[in-house]
Amino acid sequence: MADWPEFVTEKQRCPACKRVHDRSTAVQHDCAPKAGDLTICSRCAAYLRFGEGLELLPLSAAEWAALDVEIRIEMRRVREAIKEARRA
């Protein structure tokens, strides 16, 4: 994961585990996060999205189901990489 570009963001807590985040890593694009972008907590691996003010919001089951299959596959891959790194 170290090859992915990293961007500084406002400090905020994961809505699932409450870990404070102040960075975002771009997995598919070399750009800072914007409203509607998806992300995954680096501590609990919760699926999240950036709100209009770039606040971290939980990704609902309906939002997950509406994603393209390729995006869900990629998010699962990243989630597993996070979990694997946490076990190491």
pLDDT at 1: 47
Among 20, 22, 1, 26, which Cα is nearest to 10's?
A: 22
pLDDT at 49: 94
Report the amino acid identity of residue 31. Answer: C
CA-CA-CA-CA torsion sign (51, 40, 18, 1): negative
pLDDT at 6: 81
Q: Which residue is associated with the tokens 């509406």? A: 66
> According to DSSP H, which parts of 1-88 are helical?
61-66, 69-87
Domain boundary assignment for the chain:
6-87
pLDDT in tens, the chain (88 residues): 457 778 888 999 999 999 999 988 776 667 788 999 999 999 999 999 999 999 999 999 999 999 999 999 999 999 999 999 988 7
pLDDT at 32: 84
